[in-house]
Amino acid sequence: MIPIANRLADVQEYYFSQKLREIEAMKKEGKKVLNLGIGSPDLPPHPSVIEKLHAESALPDSHAYQSYRGAPALRQAMADLYAKWYNVTLNPETELLPLMGSKEGITHICMTYLNEGDAALVPNPGYPAYASAVKVAGATVLLFPLTETNQYFPDIKQLTNMVREHGRVKLMFINYPHMPTGQLPTRQMFNELVIWAKDNGVLLIHDNPYSFILNETPMSLLASPGAMEVSLELNSLSKSHNLAGWRVGLLAGKPERLQEVLRFKSNLDSGMFLPLQLAAAKALLLDADWFTYLNNHYRNRRKLVFEILDILKCPYSENQAGMFVWAGLPVGYKDGYDLSDTILHNAHVFITPGGIFGSEGNLFIRISLCSNESVLQEAIQRIQSIQKKI
């Protein structure tokens, strides 16, 4: 037997990967499971985007290896999006790096900057990929709690103490609108974090894929004074433009930083399929009507998810952004796993236990808005039918 590398010793299989196998096994037994857990958009991209992909794919010169830095048209469209929606001016030649989804960027950043003995601050609750990437890079994960009482914002004093205690904190991950809680950022909070990062020599990594979903005021960390000096921002077309399976994201920041990340990235891939890049550029130039269309769907679905939570007697805030709803537990359940398994095994409806996002999520659940209204209506009926069991 050849043992796995030490870097994987503390890295487990992604929760959803495991859970999907359980759901598939239930389906093979003839049980129709409604999956309200995963945030994979079920709506298609705009028709013009698909048409662009089609047309470019038919051209004979579209199938060669591409630039490691992405097509100029895609970088320009990314810069245009930042200027129009975030009021952030970026040089498309030097301050934007297209990615094959922002998730790969998380790993690229960790592998670029973290050594064994270094540490990164990671939100709890937060996207599990942050901690996994830090561990794969051989560094230490320092979890900082985000609590409902503090509006799911970081505690600056606590962060300062964590940096002093460890001594080798290089990176800090933040993500607003926050996943999984749906908390929106404020400009004041962003400004304070930028000042803190400068004072403490920490590179801020802001993951920003949800800013257009159920949110009227998209915001970028890079609009804060001094942010370009101390931060990088990840963004993605997966949620905002329904291109999850296309794997198109971006990294924005100072030219020197992007060049450093490119030193790692360029050794892992050979560029993105050109027609996909040009179609993504088309998507980025869509006007406000696209987001109105998208958010009307999610708004209607959210009303039905609120009905599910009311049946379960789960407390929740109606002021959440993103494509999920975060909610507390009803009386009688020890944690979100307990409630999730009860509903899965009795109603054959899967919802996500909040504990997969960290210990601060143990007393919460999360429901995705990525199922159509008929599926959500059926989920309501099923959960109503087992009320005596829950």
Residue 232 lies in a domain: yes
**How much is the pLDDT for 25?**
84
Answer yes or no: is 373 within a domain: yes
Q: Tell me, yes or no, whether 279 and 149 share the same domain.
A: yes
Residue 1 lies in a domain: no
pLDDT over threshold 70, residue 14: no
Assess whether 300 and 257 both reside in one domain: no
* Maximum Cα–Cα distance across the chain: 63
Listed residues 256, 284, 312: the one ending a domain: 284
List, for residues 25-76, the tens digit of each pLDDT value.
888 888 898 999 888 899 999 999 999 999 999 999 989 888 889 999 999 9
Are 266 and 155 within one domain?
Answer: yes
Query: Could you tell me if 66 and 79 lie in one domain?
Result: yes
Count CB neighbours of 125 within 10 A: 26
Express each pLDDT in 253-269 by its tens digit.
Answer: 999 999 999 999 998 88
Please give the pLDDT value at position 23.
82
Structural domain ending residue among the three candidates 238, 259, 284: 284
**HSE value, Cβ hemisphere, 13 Å, CA-based, for 213:** 32
For residues 76 and 220, state if they share a domain.
yes
Residues 196 and 212 in one domain: yes
Number of domains the chain is built from:
2
Residues 51 and 38 in one domain: no
Amino acid at 69: R
Whether 93 and 211 map to the same domain: the answer is yes
With a cut of 80, say whether residue 311 has pLDDT above it. Answer: yes
Model pTM greater than 0.85? yes
Residues 6+ away with beta carbon under 8 Å from 291: 212, 240
Question: Is 345 a member of any domain?
Answer: yes
Domain boundary among 284, 313, 344: 284
Confidence bin at 233 (pLDDT 50/70/90) = very high
If asked whether residues 205 and 86 sit together in one domain, one would say yes
**Has residue 22 been placed in a domain?**
yes
Q: What is the pLDDT of residues 176-206, one digit of tens each?
A: 999 999 999 999 999 999 999 999 999 999 9
What pLDDT does residue 9 have?
73
Q: How confident is the model at residue 384 (pLDDT cuts 50, 70, 90)?
A: very high
Tokens for 339, please give them.
């409630």
Range of the domain at 274: 47-284
Q: Residue 84 has what DSSP assignment?
A: I
Q: For 359-377, what is each residue's pLDDT tens digit?
A: 999 999 999 999 999 999 9
Residue 13 lies in a domain: yes
pLDDT at 271 over 90: no
Tell me: do 228 and 81 sit in the same domain: yes
Of the two residues 314 and 68, the one the predictor is more confident about is: 314
Q: Is residue 192 part of a domain?
A: yes
Q: CATH code at 166?
A: 3.40.640.10
Q: What is the pLDDT of residues 143-189, one digit of tens each?
A: 999 999 999 999 999 999 999 999 899 999 999 999 999 999 999 99
Q: Does the residue 343 lie in any domain?
A: yes
CATH of the domain at 38: 3.90.1150.10
Q: What is the pLDDT of residue 164?
A: 95
Q: What is the pLDDT of residue 12?
A: 67
- With vertex at residue 324, the alpha carbon angle to CA 321 and CA 325, rounded to the nearest 5 degrees, is 85
227 and 162 within one domain = yes
One domain, residues 93 and 231: yes
The C-alpha atoms of residue 21 and residue 121 are separated, in whole angstroms, by 31
